[in-house]
Amino acid sequence: MAHIDDPQTQKANMAYIKTSMSAPMLEKEHELDLARRWREKGDEKALHELIESYTRLVISLASKFRNYGLPMGDLIQEGNIGLMQAANRFEPDRELRFSTYASWWVRSSIQDYVLRNWSIVRTGTTAAQKSLFFNFRRLRAKIENDNEAEGIGEDGRAEIAKELGVKVKEVEQMEGRLSGVDSSLNMTIGDEGQEEWQNFLADDAPNPEEIVTTMKDSQTRSAWINDALSELPEREQRIIRERHLGYETVTLEALGKELGISKERVRQLEYRAMTHLKTSI
């Protein structure tokens, strides 16, 4: 389901992108100095300058995920979250450019957002499934191009599964997910559109007759058990109730302490009582 920004939002996005792209690039030494000032002194002014200079990186990475039908503004915002995470974890003493380090965090943040919002059905949770989601279309296109055919077939699915380290079944499931779209149960069907999809869904719940029959059977079984219990001595009744008819099962040792007998004696009485109940019922 595509999410389209309204004209006003699109205009605001373009203004933000224009401002971000005009921010000055940082020299390596100045960049590392800003990172140190933020990391060691909590200098927010240094953090803002560092972040503002790399929002262009966020925009560049976010634009690569536009085909998933999500608002560009949301993709950029998620990327900015990843950029902030990168700034908090960046270690300037490693002499690594911030853009190289931040790219992973920005991309990961955007990918997580896409996975959460691309469909109402959760798509994938493991790293391998995540890789499958974002690489399936590319690998499928490559296989189809190499074979000059439409569709990838079993060999193609096996090739994708091997390259991404997933099961063939997962590839098949992802192929089905990416080929379909989410549809509302309230969507109307037919020429006149008077019926909704949900009207044709089968209800697996018990019908009223089955519910009444089950209740009646349950009541009958309860009566049988109570009658059989009433034939037992009081001590054995208590053992059965504590061991089999309560929400929590009491241990043989605990019952033995309460009744003043050994754990083994409780087990013997329980066995004798259960045998009598089975015979009686």
Determine the Cα–Cα distance for residues 258 and 192; give it in Å rounded to an integer: 73
Q: Which long-range contacts (CB under 8 A, 24 or more apart) does 242-248 make?
A: 243/270
Instruction: Give pLDDT, residue 83.
Output: 94
Average pLDDT score over the chain: 82
Q: Which residues contact 230 (CB under 8 A, 6 or more apart)?
A: 237
Q: What is the three-state SS of the chain? A: CCCCCCHHHHHHHHHHHHHHHCCCCCCHHHHHHHHHHHHHHCCHHHHHHHHHHCHHHHHHHHHCCHHHCCCHHHHHHHHHHHHHHHHHHCCHHHCCCHHHHHHHHHHHHHHHHHHHHCCCCCCCCCHHHHHHHHHHHHHHHHHHHHHCCCCCHHHHHHHHHHHHCCCHHHHHHHHHHHHCCCCCCCCEECCCCCEEHHHHCCCCCCCHHHHHHHHHHHHHHHHHHHHHHHCCCHHHHHHHHHHHCCCCCCCHHHHHHHHCCCHHHHHHHHHHHHHHHHHHC
What pLDDT, in 10s, does the model give residues 118-155?
765 555 566 777 777 777 777 877 877 777 767 777 88
pLDDT value for 120: 54
User: What is the predicted pLDDT for the residue at 138?
Assistant: 78
Tell me the mean pLDDT in the region 89-102: 89
pLDDT tens figures, 156-169: 888 888 888 888 88
pLDDT on residue 179: 65
Which pLDDT value is given to residue 157? 83
**pLDDT tens profile 198-220:** 676 777 777 788 777 888 888 88
Q: What is the pLDDT of residue 85?
A: 94
**Average pLDDT estimate for 46-57:** 92
Residue 80 has pLDDT above 90, yes or no: yes
Pairwise CA distance, residues 224 & 231, whole Å: 11
For residues 42 and 195, the model is more confident at 42
Q: What are the residues whose beta carbons fall under 8 Å from the beta carbon of 231, sequence distance 6 or more?
A: 276, 280
Predicted TM-score (pTM) of the model is 0.53
